[in-house]
Chain A
Amino acid sequence: MEVPILKQGLYLIASIQAALSDVDLVHLRDALAEKVGKFRARGVIVDVTVLDVMDSFASRTLRDLAHMTRLRGAETVIVGIQPEVAFAMVQLGLTLEGVDTALDLEEGLAFLDKKTKRHTSRG
């Protein structure tokens, strides 16, 4: 299932609608990495609210995604991880290290605003 990627100002928002297969995740990663350059986005938000399970492949792919977009000039923030999912993840040792997370879409936008403003003000 394809994940819609919406452009919102300087940011790209990928809103996951249903459980994803490994192939879908890889597609999402590649599509975002590509579109970051195409739209000159400064930030990416991946909304995983609907996911009720996050396995090692998914978290690794999300981590790769965050690192790839960072290399292409956009910060990624993962939003909407459910409490149960979060705890299951840390128990499996999947802590998404080096990846920013936020409570929900709103928080994610606020986070990116703050982060990109800091970057621009620093020049």
Chain B
Amino acid sequence: MGDQKVKRSEDKGKGVSPVREMPPPDDESTVSLLRELVNHLRKNRTQLREEWARRITAAKLLGAMSSEEMFAEATSVYDNYVEVLETGAVEALQAYARDLSERIIPRGVETDEVVGIVLLLRDVLARSLFAKYQTDFQLLNRILDAYEPAANRIANTVAVGFVQERERIIRQQQEAIRELSTPVLQVRERLLILPIIGVIDSQRARQLTEQLLRGIRTNRAKVVVIDITGVAAMDATVANHLVQTVEASRLLGATVIVTGLSPEIAQTLVTIGVDLGKMNTVGDLQGGIEEAERLLGYKVTPFSEVSQQPI
């Protein structure tokens, strides 16, 4: 919570005091003003909600949802919004924002859309207040004084809730990637393959190296094929780590063949100035395994060719 930056950048410069500094609506006049405001919003619920939905569609927000879904979602956001204005308690809204984010993030709704719709609602409601109180400028001012901080706080809460949910998902996925075991597989006597897929950071690289070196020892491997076809890019640190892995494997008496280097990774390796004499690389996994078999003295012959030979 309390991430003012999110809010402030969205603040339309209406001279509102920062969100955090807003006092709870204990002031007698503020409470009565908010009550009046809420009554107004309740009374015009249908009309304002429709206006809002129309604006959302016009702004091409929430394109991932059907119009019925959008309308249903808009209704509950509206009701929550009014309720927070009335009670000043954001906890319920926080929970709702979390719940909403959980539902809509998998549908591909973006942060700017969520912030956008909340700001649109704020705008729609502000306009209706203007329309209602335009004759009494003093009252309009006081109404807005009460309304703006509360509205800002709501927008802040929803945006922060959404971003937090996103971050939670990202963290969860990072965890999942990290836990994806990277198998060290024996394909023939003395031949291991290590297929690496996904993003490698230095932590995962370290884990991979440990697994590989242990695998070499337990399987008594002489040749290891590390296939990095599934790795799109690696930074210099990880590339260096790969080179170190190759050297460490050699110290254990195993030859490493690296296969499936993408052009980007090749570029990285050249840029950091890897001694290519130490790196045995082959284009693809098939070539790598063939090379490994050659090193181990295997010769794979199709069965038909074998049976044709006179015995």
Residues on A lying within 8 angstroms of B by beta carbon are 78-79, 81, 83-87, 89-91, 95-96, 101-104, 107-108, 111
Contacts and interface: CB of A to CB of B under 8 A. Distances in A.
B209 interface: yes
Given A83-B213, A86-B213, A87-B209, A101 B248 contact: no
Contact of A90 (B210, B216, B244): B244
A87 B213 contact: yes
A103 B252 contact: yes
A103 B216 contact: yes
Contacts, number: 55
A103 B244 contact: no
A84 B244 CA distance: 12
Contact of B252 (A81, A91, A111): A81
B204 interface: no
Interface of B: 209-210, 213-214, 216-217, 220, 222, 244-245, 247-254, 278
Given A86-B213, A89-B248, A95-B250, 14 more contacts: A78-B251, A81-B251, A83-B210, A83-B248, A84-B213, A85-B251, A87-B209, A87-B245, A90-B245, A90-B248, A90-B251, A101-B252, A103-B222, A103-B253
Contacts of A95: 247, 250-251, 278
Contact of A103 (B214, B220, B247, B278): B220
Given A83-B213, A87-B210, A103 B254 contact: yes
Contacts of B252: 81, 83, 86, 101, 103
A76 to B, nearest CB: 13
A84 B252 CA distance: 10
Contact of A96 (B214, B216, B251): B251
B250 A101 contact: yes
Contacts of A89: 248, 251
Nearest to B249: A86
Contact of A102 (B213, B248, B253, B278): B253
Query: Among the interface residues B214, B217, B248, which one has the most CB atoms of the partner chain A within 10 A?
Result: B248
B244 A83 contact: no
Contacts of B217: 83, 103
Contacts of B210: 83, 87
